[in-house]
Amino acid sequence: MAHQGNAWDREYRNPLLVTKNDGPQKDTLRFLKYLKKVEKYRVEEKNILDLGCGTGRNSNYLADLYNKVIGIEISKTALDIAKTRAHNMGVSVDYRLGDIGEKYDIPDNSIDVVLDITSSNSLDEKGREVYLEEVQRVMKKGGYFFVRALCKDGNQNVKNLLKMSPGKEYDTYIMKDIGLTERVFSRTDFLAMYGKYFKILNLEKKTSYTTFNNRIYKRDYWLAYMQK
């Protein structure tokens, strides 16, 4: 499935799934609140890495809070929207066209907070291994990592997709309408994978409803707060 850049770019040119919303993602705001309340940590004047930053809704918001933000995104269409929005907001973000499943041009131990808001689901196993190693490498010790990823457990729609439209790799299915392969995670797999690299501070499951091709789908997500 390589990096699936073409499928994502097609999706941004004619959006069926991604949001057109330009405000920060609600779960991102909850994560920031958690850091402030529980960890006594303010995400201001920090170095942030936003993986698969899309149209920049989280990157631009964080840049507006005086953070230095790098956003990596595979779709040029999305990145152009992100840049225009940043310009309109009067903020500056280091937007980079690139693959989060390949090595990052970022120094070791330099990033305070990493966001992966539903992006690494699109990686294949090889890319995921690079992503995990790279995030761990670029993060400062004690830095925070927020992952929002698709959850497999207890979701009938996921069960059907895995059966009817399986991808080549373990726990993947192909979303036929947009030609995109997605990886879903059981709780056990999620904990084993990330636990190898990071300390897991909090893991919860959250249900959202997405309208896709005029049908409503129940999507379950893992929201993971982690630390290096």
Ligand X SMILES: C[S@@+](CC[C@H](N)C(=O)[O-])C[C@H]1O[C@@H](n2cnc3c(N)ncnc32)[C@H](O)[C@@H]1O
The partner residues of 219 in beta bridges, in order of sequence, read 208
Give, as ranges, the residues between 112 and 131 that touch ligand X (CB under 6 A).
Answer: 117-119, 122-123
The residue within the footprint of ligand X, chosen from 58, 155, 172, 181 (CB under 6 A), is: 58
Residue 113, SS3 per DSSP:
strand
Told to check if 75 binds ligand X by CB under 6 A, we report yes
Q: How far is the CB of 99 from ligand X (least distance, A)?
A: 4
211-217: long-range contacts (C-beta < 8 A, 24 or more apart)? Answer: 212/16, 212/17, 212/177, 213/16, 213/177, 217/157
The residue within the footprint of ligand X, chosen from 48, 74, 81, 151 (CB under 6 A), is: 74
Told to check if 3 binds ligand X by CB under 6 A, we report yes
- Tell me the C-alpha to C-alpha distance, in Å, between residue 86 and each of 51, 82, 117, 154: 17, 6, 19, 39
Q: How far apart are the first and last CA of the chain?
A: 29
The residue within the footprint of ligand X, chosen from 46, 62, 69, 99 (CB under 6 A), is: 99
Residue 26, SS3 per DSSP:
helix
Contact segment (CB under 6 A) with ligand X among 2-10, 84-92, 104-112, 169-177 equals: 2-10
The residue within the footprint of ligand X, chosen from 49, 52, 144, 149 (CB under 6 A), is: 52
Residues near ligand X, by CB under 6 A: 3-4, 8, 18, 25, 52-54, 57-58, 72-75, 78, 99-101, 117-119, 122-123
